Amino acid sequence: MSEYAQQRVYVVDDDQGMLDSTVWLFESIGLQAQPFTSGQAFLDACDAAAPACVLLDVRMPGMGGLAVQEAMRERGIELPVIFVSAHADVPIVVRAFRGGAVDFIEKPYNEQLLLDSVQRALSQRRVFIHPQIPAVQARFESLTPRESDILLPLVQGFNNREIAEQLGISVKTVDLYRSRVMKRMQADSLPALVGMVIGLGLIDPFTQRLI
């Protein structure tokens, strides 16, 4: 019997093709995957006591992912939520983490990264996207002053041109340092970087202001 036989993943996505492929991926490793094409259908059917996690698309007709997350809180459903989105801007990512999301993955996602995230979520009720806070802190402290100058407005949602204007440098220079920041912090996406900075307590997830 698979080690995941008693566990399940609720997959909520209005894209039928994405839904089918994601369910197949989970079932290929022995995970039970329960698909839903709408947030309301998921809320009506979900078992809050199940050993499960929720893979939740941000943008859906009717009730979007963030609204589903809010409804889960109101109903006392404390299942770990992993958000997926092709449109992961900073305010959405911050709202997701503020609401208790355990991870935020950009579409199209890497299958192994998704599986790893789900396995972490199933292993404990509350897991952060980057649980090794000391290691993340060490990477942050290794940034040069200029890299730090770029990092903080970047995770606050400012684009490259706005950062360039703030710092009095060229957009090309911002783009160069942005790449260095992502590499040094070992962040494979902007949502991952935002999650790290929130985890370090450098920005207020409610206001997106520096702490």
CB 171 within 8 A of CB 161: yes
Has residue 186 been placed in a domain? yes
Domain boundary among 123, 157, 177: 123
Has residue 204 been placed in a domain? no
Nearby residues of 53 by Cβ (< 8 Å), 6 or more positions away? 9, 10, 79, 80, 81, 82, 102, 118, 121, 122
Gap between the Cα atoms of 44 and 50, Å rounded: 14
- The per-residue pLDDT string of the chain (211 residues; one tens digit each, 9 = 90 and over) reads 345 556 889 999 999 999 999 999 999 988 899 999 999 999 999 988 888 999 999 999 989 999 999 999 888 888 999 999 987 788 888 888 888 898 999 988 899 999 999 988 888 644 443 456 778 888 998 999 899 999 989 988 899 999 999 999 999 999 999 999 999 999 888 888 888 888 777 776 655 666 5
Has residue 83 been placed in a domain? yes
Considering the domain architecture, whether residues 112 and 151 belong to the same structural domain is answered as no
CB 58 within 8 A of CB 83: yes
Question: How far from 34 is each of 10, 23, 81, 94, CA to CA, in Å?
Answer: 5, 7, 14, 27
Question: How far from 124 is each of 5, 66, 140, 141, 172, CA to CA, in Å?
Answer: 16, 22, 26, 29, 42
Considering the domain architecture, whether residues 93 and 154 belong to the same structural domain is answered as no
Domain CATH number, residue 102? 3.40.50.2300
Considering the domain architecture, whether residues 21 and 110 belong to the same structural domain is answered as yes
Has residue 67 been placed in a domain? yes
Considering the domain architecture, whether residues 150 and 53 belong to the same structural domain is answered as no
- pTM greater than the 0.85 cutoff: no
Gap between the Cα atoms of 17 and 20, Å rounded: 5
Name the domain count of the chain.
2
Has residue 3 been placed in a domain? no
CB 98 within 8 A of CB 203: no
Gap between the Cα atoms of 130 and 139, Å rounded: 12
Considering the domain architecture, whether residues 90 and 153 belong to the same structural domain is answered as no
Domain CATH number, residue 154? 1.10.10.10
Give the tens place of pLDDT for each residue, 24-51.
999 998 889 999 999 999 999 998 888 8
The alpha carbons of the chain give a radius of gyration, in whole angstroms, of 18
Domain that holds residue 81: 8-123
Considering the domain architecture, whether residues 52 and 105 belong to the same structural domain is answered as yes
Considering the domain architecture, whether residues 42 and 104 belong to the same structural domain is answered as yes
DSSP 8-state class, residue 1 = -
